[in-house]
Chain A
Amino acid sequence: MSSVAQKRGFGAALWDWMTTVDHKKIGILYLIGGGFFFVVGGIEAMIIRLQLLKPNNDLVSAGLFNDLITMHGTTMIFLAAMPILFGFMNYIMPLQIGARDVAFPFINSLGFWMFFLGGVFLNVSWFFGQVPDAGWTSYASLSLASTGHGIDFYAIGLQIAGGGTLMGGINFLVTIINMRAPGMTYMRMPLFTWTTFVASAMILFAFPPLTVGLFFLTFDRMFDANFFDHQMGGNTIIWEHIFWIFGHPEVYILILPAFGIFSEIFSIFSRKRLFGYPAMVFATVLIGFLGFMVWAHHMFTVGLGPTANAIFAVATMAIAVPTGVKIFNWLLTIWGGSISVTTPMLYALGFIPSFVMGGVTGVMQGAAPLDYQLHDSYFIVAHFHYVIVGGVVLAILAGVHLYWPKMFGTMLSETLGKITFVFFFVGFHCTFLIQHWLGFWGMPRRVWTYMDGQGWNTANLISSIGALLMAIGVIVMVINIIMTTVKNVRVGNDPWGDGRTLEWAIPSPPPFYNFTQTPLVRGLDTVWIEKQEGNATGLTFAEPVTDIHMPHGSIIPFFMSVGLFIAGFGAMFHQETSWGLPLLIFGLAWTFVAMAMRSLKDDLGYHVTKEEIQRDITNASKGGQN
């Protein structure tokens, strides 16, 4: 990333990436890690659809099918969707607020390595042949009855990964509160930054319940506790409450950054200020708040009683209001705009109807009496895939196309991008639309196979074909990425031509210190304002060129996470082996030693000198390579 290109060995490059504390590199690491797990979860999905292709299929056994659905859900939510969004947040958010890094670069790195090793821990279960099999919700009676170490992998793996997420969330909060450039008031923040802020606040409040619940589960299964065992005075329903007090905010944590990405896209490619910006911000905050008030709508059929069901049904429907505000604001942003239908814009246009369909089925399930009919049927499967694929995954794919030039300095092929979109979008509706009817026709979710002659054969066949189309779409995108990387045609600061926010006024990819000088923000869409007033660079600086203070890289976050990874195996095997307990203690001690090393050794960072920055500025103005 320095101004002088150097050839480096593979080892040096690997060391550089493992020790990096640069938010941009960590963002890319999140994208790579999340992308890897996205492929793993996708392969699991393909096997599930292959198994359900025809009646009485025996491609996989019933037990393996349970493993597959559990790991598909867990992987896609915790290890694919969240980390990929974290990648975008990490990379883009500091650029949007004019910061040089996140507030705690070291913790940022630690968050990534904990997520990654937690995810690896979860997936190592495949090699042990003992895989989580109680569904991604892992309801307690079922998960306590599960034999083998499957659920142990779930509890410990998610505990480690969840710790990383919590750190990331707090880091983003502190960054946005404290590190905004001069003039960047709260009501001038780009909407992606706002949604990052609200999603991070939700992480702050939602992940502690998950941590507690997972610890309860860990203790129940591995240390003879009885939190969820009703025979010993525990309460199995408590897990459901704890899980959904976390789990419902979790889905909003996923969708809000997706909303943010789409808000940027609509604004950029309609060449208009986002319609109703204050209303958008208010709706985002309101969705974040209401997200904590509706968890029991996942539990209507548990028997909480009519009062609880009625109150939670009403609260659930209330969320449709701010979401509707957002939808109409997006439509009115496009309305009368000078629209260019690029690949990201295509995804955004496809997102609106898809997500509205998912939202409407959500309100249907929010009606408690109807939910008794829909509960545990394929209708539910259709609904949550409509909101998560039609919302979050479309946003991720749109974000990849939108921000690829900013992150890697090359433009993904628009033609291949549109082919990806067509395959993925058609495949998505083909897969999941028909599943609503499968639900109406009585097909329960999470079934391994089904009998012939129930009228489900054609629908399942259509659904499986759709899954194949989605896979083709993703493969085309991978080809696109490889071709673009090989061709390596460099692009300038603002390859889309209509960038409105600060990230589009600096080189692609940005220098490791982001901004040569801290920018001055003069309003919402500050770069757009500057350009309108004839400032072609899009930036006004708030300070002269001075030395920049930067943090050193560190391998310690990786070691801390490895310690927890080792301790996890110790906890898992401590009951049946003699080496389990020592391994648990060793792993924790390892982490504490690593923490002590970090605490005791002062690392004051280093300075990028004024001369170096001046040289970069001169090179850039001569049009040289960055």
Chain B
Amino acid sequence: MAEVEMYKRTPIEQDLFVRRSKETMRGQVMMFSLMIFMTLVSFTFVVAYQQGVEGFTKYLVIPVLFLFAAVQVGLQLYYFMHMKDKGHGVPQMFMFTGVVFAFLIPLTFVTIVWW
């Protein structure tokens, strides 16, 4: 289309771009390693529970798994789906509104509504 514009970066811009890209890449790799690590820890917990290791009761394992799951979802959204970057305020607002509704309405059902 006629609207394609060619734009040449100045050396300084190019420099900044390269540095930013490197930082982003470093962040992505770090978070990816962290997520892999957390997955490994989770599996270890489950295996430890199955093997009956002292202290690994289901009251420890299940909350920890949920916690790790929540962190993983957060990392996924913020790092790999770029919610931490600028210009994502509105999607964040809508997602959190949805989360609040999705939490509150079932909470009503399981606590105060009889049937």
Per CB-CB distance, the 4 closest pairs between chain A and chain B, nearest first, are: A308-B112, A305-B114, A307-B112, A308-B113
Within the complex, what minimum Cβ distance (angstroms) separates B62 from chain A?
Answer: 28
21 CB-based A-B contacts, threshold 8 Å: A201-B94, A201-B97, A204-B94, A205-B97, A237-B115, A241-B109, A241-B113, A245-B105, A289-B97, A292-B101, A296-B108, A296-B113, A304-B112, A304-B113, A304-B114, A304-B115, A305-B114, A308-B108, A308-B112, A308-B113, A549-B3
Find the residue from B98, B113, B114 having the highest chain A CB count within 10 A.
Answer: B113
Give A554-569 interface residues, CB cut-off 8 Å to B.
Answer: none
Cross-chain contact A308 with B90 (CB below 8 angstroms): no
Within the complex, what minimum Cβ distance (angstroms) separates B24 from chain A?
Answer: 24
Name the one of A245, A289, A311, A604 contacting B112, with C-beta atoms under 8 angstroms. Answer: A311
Please report the C-alpha to C-alpha distance between residue A304 and residue B112 in the assembled complex, in whole angstroms: 8
Identify the closest chain A residue to B90 (Cβ): A177
A19 interface residue (CB < 8 Å to B): no
Cross-chain contact A305 with B94 (CB below 8 angstroms): no
Question: Residue-by-residue, is A168-181 near B (CB-CB < 8 Å gives 1, otherwise 0)?
Answer: 00000000010000
Chain A interface helix/strand/loop/mixed: helix
Question: Residue-by-residue, is B75-115 near A (CB-CB < 8 Å gives 1, otherwise 0)?
Answer: 00000000000000010001001100100110011001111
Within the complex, what minimum Cβ distance (angstroms) separates A610 from chain B?
Answer: 13
Given contacts A245-B105, A292-B101, contact A308 B94 (CB under 8 A): no
Within the complex, what minimum Cβ distance (angstroms) separates A350 from chain B?
Answer: 35
- Further contacts, 11 of them, CB under 8 A, given A201-B97, A303-B114, A307-B112: A205-B97, A235-B115, A237-B115, A289-B97, A292-B105, A296-B108, A296-B113, A303-B115, A304-B112, A304-B115, A305-B114
Please report the C-alpha to C-alpha distance between residue A303 and residue B108 in the assembled complex, in whole angstroms: 15
B1 interface residue (CB < 8 Å to A): yes
Q: Which residues of A contact B104 (CB under 8 A)?
A: 293
Q: Which residues of A contact B101 (CB under 8 A)?
A: 205, 292
Cross-chain contact A305 with B98 (CB below 8 angstroms): no
Within the complex, what minimum Cβ distance (angstroms) separates B113 from chain A?
Answer: 5
Cross-chain contact B113 with A205 (CB below 8 angstroms): no
Within the complex, what minimum Cβ distance (angstroms) separates B26 from chain A?
Answer: 31
Find the residue from B90, B109, B115 having the highest chain A CB count within 10 A.
Answer: B115
Give A239-272 interface residues, CB cut-off 8 Å to B.
Answer: 241, 245
Q: Which residues of B contact A235 (CB under 8 A)?
A: 115
Identify the closest chain A residue to B1 (Cβ): A604
Identify the closest chain B residue to A176 (Cβ): B90
Within the complex, what minimum Cβ distance (angstroms) separates A533 from chain B?
Answer: 32
Please report the C-alpha to C-alpha distance between residue A204 and residue B97 in the assembled complex, in whole angstroms: 11
Identify the closest chain A residue to B97 (Cβ): A205
Q: Which residues of B contact A304 (CB under 8 A)?
A: 112-115
Please report the C-alpha to C-alpha distance between residue A362 and residue B97 in the assembled complex, in whole angstroms: 26
Q: Which residues of A contact B114 (CB under 8 A)?
A: 303-305, 308
Cross-chain contact A305 with B113 (CB below 8 angstroms): yes
Within the complex, what minimum Cβ distance (angstroms) separates A119 from chain B?
Answer: 28
Q: Which residues of A contact B109 (CB under 8 A)?
A: 241
Give A180-223 interface residues, CB cut-off 8 Å to B.
Answer: 201, 204-205
Q: Which residues of A contact B105 (CB under 8 A)?
A: 245, 292
Q: Which residues of A contact B1 (CB under 8 A)?
A: 604
Please report the C-alpha to C-alpha distance between residue A307 and residue B104 in the assembled complex, in whole angstroms: 16
Please report the C-alpha to C-alpha distance between residue A237 and residue B1 in the assembled complex, in whole angstroms: 56
Please report the C-alpha to C-alpha distance between residue A282 and residue B90 in the assembled complex, in whole angstroms: 16
Q: Which residues of A contact B115 (CB under 8 A)?
A: 235, 237, 303-304
Within the complex, what minimum Cβ distance (angstroms) separates A297 from chain B?
Answer: 12
Identify the closest chain B residue to A302 (Cβ): B115
Q: Which residues of A contact B2 (CB under 8 A)?
A: 607
Please report the C-alpha to C-alpha distance between residue A549 and residue B94 in the assembled complex, in whole angstroms: 30
Please report the C-alpha to C-alpha distance between residue A304 and residue B108 in the assembled complex, in whole angstroms: 11
Within the complex, what minimum Cβ distance (angstroms) separates A604 from chain B?
Answer: 6
Identify the closest chain B residue to A174 (Cβ): B90
Question: Residue-by-residue, is B1-21 near A (CB-CB < 8 Å gives 1, otherwise 0)?
Answer: 111000000000000000000
Please report the C-alpha to C-alpha distance between residue A205 and residue B94 in the assembled complex, in whole angstroms: 9
Q: Which residues of B contact A289 (CB under 8 A)?
A: 97
Q: Which residues of B contact A303 (CB under 8 A)?
A: 114-115
Q: Which residues of B contact A604 (CB under 8 A)?
A: 1
Please report the C-alpha to C-alpha distance between residue A308 and residue B114 in the assembled complex, in whole angstroms: 8
Q: Which residues of B contact A308 (CB under 8 A)?
A: 108, 112-114
Please report the C-alpha to C-alpha distance between residue A307 and residue B114 in the assembled complex, in whole angstroms: 9
Please report the C-alpha to C-alpha distance between residue A293 and residue B109 in the assembled complex, in whole angstroms: 12
Please report the C-alpha to C-alpha distance between residue A305 and residue B113 in the assembled complex, in whole angstroms: 7
Please report the C-alpha to C-alpha distance between residue A289 and residue B104 in the assembled complex, in whole angstroms: 12
Please report the C-alpha to C-alpha distance between residue A305 and residue B112 in the assembled complex, in whole angstroms: 8
Cross-chain contact A205 with B98 (CB below 8 angstroms): yes
Within the complex, what minimum Cβ distance (angstroms) separates A572 from chain B?
Answer: 31
Please report the C-alpha to C-alpha distance between residue A604 and residue B4 in the assembled complex, in whole angstroms: 13
Please report the C-alpha to C-alpha distance between residue A342 and residue B4 in the assembled complex, in whole angstroms: 51
Question: Residue-by-residue, is B49-87 near A (CB-CB < 8 Å gives 1, otherwise 0)?
Answer: 000000000000000000000000000000000000000
Please report the C-alpha to C-alpha distance between residue A205 and residue B104 in the assembled complex, in whole angstroms: 13
Please report the C-alpha to C-alpha distance between residue A81 and residue B104 in the assembled complex, in whole angstroms: 30
Within the complex, what minimum Cβ distance (angstroms) separates B104 from chain A?
Answer: 7
Please report the C-alpha to C-alpha distance between residue A241 and residue B94 in the assembled complex, in whole angstroms: 23
Please report the C-alpha to C-alpha distance between residue A308 and residue B90 in the assembled complex, in whole angstroms: 33
Question: Residue-by-residue, is B30-44 near A (CB-CB < 8 Å gives 1, otherwise 0)?
Answer: 000000000000000
Please report the C-alpha to C-alpha distance between residue A175 and residue B1 in the assembled complex, in whole angstroms: 24
Please report the C-alpha to C-alpha distance between residue A326 and residue B3 in the assembled complex, in whole angstroms: 46
Q: Which residues of A contact B113 (CB under 8 A)?
A: 241, 296, 304-305, 308
Please report the C-alpha to C-alpha distance between residue A292 and residue B104 in the assembled complex, in whole angstroms: 10
Give A55-105 interface residues, CB cut-off 8 Å to B.
Answer: none
Within the complex, what minimum Cβ distance (angstroms) separates B45 from chain A?
Answer: 35
